[in-house]
Structure 1
Amino acid sequence: MNMEQATLVGCDFSSSPTQRKPIVLAFGQLAGDRIVLQRLTPLDALAKFGHWLGEPGCWVGGFDVPFGLPRELVEHLRWPLTWRECIEHYAKLSRAEIRETFAAFTAARPAGGKFAHRAFDKLAGSSPSMKWVNPPVAYMLHAAVPLLLAAGVDLPGLHAGDPQRVALEAYPGLLARELIGRRSYKSDDVAKQTPERLIARKDLLDALEAGRTRLGLRLKLTHAQRDALVADASGDSLDAVLCMVQAGWAQREGPPRWGLPQTLDPLEGWIVSA
């Protein structure tokens, strides 16, 4: 199948998915400068996510998961300096071992510079991929990336796989901040699911539907889809849609780079559209 007709996927990932806090996949299609949302699919187990990844298909996906660790950290720990070997080493560690290793690294560093960062973190406003709390992106990497590798998908700039299933690192916060600034639009804490955050979700969707983004794309929703995205106060569905829009931009940029810079570090990766 021609990759210009590929399905778009956006993934809001959870490292410990449940029915209450599932992984959310948004599926859509690029039509000119419009991205049509087709459906949202929740997955309440990592095994279901792994099974979906491994199915034959033709898609370009944006995944809200860090695909690599900071080079500075990997060099300091004397872990393998090639991406695949580094991920395979990381996958063998338990979460407790990851936490202990990274905590020891941060303990030895000065205040204000505790974490190692990837080259683009500042540019994208993303959390360092070694953080194990608020948000636990180190555990997300540990849960998701070995599954991507096992499924044989293509990880541009990092690892060659099935060119019909293209997985890119996305970050919904990058696109959200472009459209509504630093306003908060989501919370998992029911007490913090305020009218202000509801209004922020509406404003974010208004901006996406109007195409007020430098990506040059407009989101097409039905009334029911729009209502559902506004109603999801956790923001998980909306984050999946934001990742799908970033995947749409990558699809328009096309292979082999999918909009990724020539200069990306093949150990750290890059956030699409950063």
Structure 2
Amino acid sequence: MSSAVVFDLIGCDFSSSPSRRKPIGLALGRRDGARVQLLGLERIETLPALAQWLAQPQPWVGGFDLPFGLPRELVNTLGWPTDWRACMQHYRSFTREQIRLAFAGFCDARPVGGKFAHRATDGPAGSSPSMKWVNPPVAYMLHAGLPLLLDAGVYLPGLMPPGTGDAQRVALEAYPGLLAREVLQRRSYKSDDRAKQTPDRLIARKDLVNALELGQTRLGLRLKLSHAQRDALVQDASGDSLDAVLCLLQAAWAQQQHDQGDALYGLPPGLDTLEGWIVTAPCSASGA
């Protein structure tokens, strides 16, 4: 953790298999009213390095781009514990191959068009089922990332009872695609494939960054960037840096809700305490 940067917000673009080529991205920032200043971007190349980073006592509210829970329908069908912490401890005991076999067996028993179970948050957020193990492998992201947060002793609102975990380090499930789609609709802004890093995607990143700076989203927050930071976000064709910043803004919104008296950091009061909820996702479609 950089001692030169005084921050209290984190956005994390997570990878279940980080490397020098595809590191975990962290955006560090602070909020002043409706203005969110990006203070720095960090790259973490291993899961143990992220664990070490998270364990430090710096207070923060963080948005993490990985699922925090599994669909209740899946858990019930597999006969796994329906208490969230017990379920997550059970889940972390599996290998990735065991996860794939268990989830593939679940899917094989279901009709075409309904193979995967969904969480209540998936519809409003437009997110992939947290049991998907390919394209994207979010099941492995949950398996790799959530234990790091548990072991670091952070507090996860809506999933942990108040008073458990460190209330000074608050982790929320974020999803950058939710905020990006609000601005760009169906336009793509990123690709890891160099052949697909097109001028249209470059223009989309410019448009997205511009909208965030102007506060043109329903979050009502304005992103404050230096010229160099703006260039870095636009020029990163993988979109990883921008995704971390989108998660940072979702964390900033959650922090704002908490500062205004919301103990759940903007999560819906009726959320399923086994499945969890993506911060800033509308709750009307869930019945929450």
TM-score (norm 2): 0.93
Match for residue 262 of structure 1 among 263, 269, 287: 269
Q: CA deviation at 1:248?
A: 0.4
> Quick check: 1:243 aligned with 2:239?
no
Query: Whole-Å Cα distance in 1 between the matches of residues 147 and 128 of structure 2?
Result: 20
TM-score (norm 1): 0.97
Aligned partner of 1:158 in structure 2 is: 159
Aligned partner of 2:129 in structure 1 is: 128
Contact 2:66 2:174 (8 Å CA) reproduced: yes
Query: Whole-Å Cα distance in 2 between the matches of residues 270 and 120 of structure 1?
Result: 6
Local SS of the residue matching 1:38: strand
Give the aligned length: 270
What is the aligned-residue identity percentage? 68
Query: Whole-Å Cα distance in 1 between the matches of residues 228 and 7 of structure 2?
Result: 24
Query: Whole-Å Cα distance in 2 between the matches of residues 239 and 170 of structure 1?
Result: 10
Local SS of the residue matching 1:123: helix
Contact 1:6 1:60 (8 Å CA) reproduced: no
Q: Aligned Cα RMSD in Å? A: 0.9
Local SS of the residue matching 2:271: coil
Q: CA deviation at 1:120?
A: 1.4
Runs in 1 of length 4+ with deviation above 4 angstroms? Answer: none
Query: Whole-Å Cα distance in 1 between the matches of residues 33 and 254 of structure 2?
Result: 13
Aligned partner of 1:216 in structure 2 is: 220
Q: Encode CA deviations 1:218-248: one digit per residue, 9 max, x unaligned.
A: 0000000000011111100000000000000
Query: Whole-Å Cα distance in 1 between the matches of residues 280 and 243 of structure 2?
Result: 15
Q: CA deviation at 1:256?
A: 1.5
Query: Whole-Å Cα distance in 1 between the matches of residues 270 and 209 of structure 2?
Result: 33
Match for residue 189 of structure 1 among 167, 188, 193: 193
Aligned partner of 1:139 in structure 2 is: 140
Local SS of the residue matching 1:28: strand
Mean CA deviation greater in 251-260 or 64-73? 251-260
Query: Whole-Å Cα distance in 2 between the matches of residues 120 and 60 of structure 1?
Result: 20
For structure 1, the residue ranges without an aligned partner over 5 or more in a row are: none
Q: CA deviation at 1:32?
A: 1.3
Query: Whole-Å Cα distance in 1 between the matches of residues 188 and 107 of structure 2?
Result: 28
Aligned partner of 1:79 in structure 2 is: 80
Query: Whole-Å Cα distance in 1 between the matches of residues 221 and 66 of structure 2?
Result: 23
Contact 2:7 2:39 (8 Å CA) reproduced: no
For structure 2, the residue ranges without an aligned partner over 5 or more in a row are: 1-5, 282-288
Counterpart of 2:273, as a letter, is P
Q: Encode CA deviations 1:40-88: one digit per residue, 9 max, x unaligned.
A: 0000000011011111111000000000000000000000000100000
Query: Whole-Å Cα distance in 1 between the matches of residues 104 and 188 of structure 2?
Result: 28
Aligned partner of 1:58 in structure 2 is: 59
Query: Whole-Å Cα distance in 2 between the matches of residues 103 and 184 of structure 1?
Result: 29
Q: Encode CA deviations 1:163-207: one digit per residue, 9 max, x unaligned.
A: 000000000000000011111000111111111111000000010
Local SS of the residue matching 2:19: coil
Query: Whole-Å Cα distance in 1 between the matches of residues 256 and 35 of structure 2?
Result: 11
> Quick check: 1:25 aligned with 2:26?
yes
Q: CA deviation at 1:6?
A: 6.5
Aligned partner of 1:105 in structure 2 is: 106
> Quick check: 1:271 aligned with 2:287?
no
Query: Whole-Å Cα distance in 2 between the matches of residues 153 and 32 of structure 1?
Result: 25
Local SS of the residue matching 1:116: coil
Aligned partner of 1:115 in structure 2 is: 116
Counterpart of 1:265, as a letter, is D
Match for residue 179 of structure 1 among 183, 196, 204: 183
Contact 2:7 2:28 (8 Å CA) reproduced: no
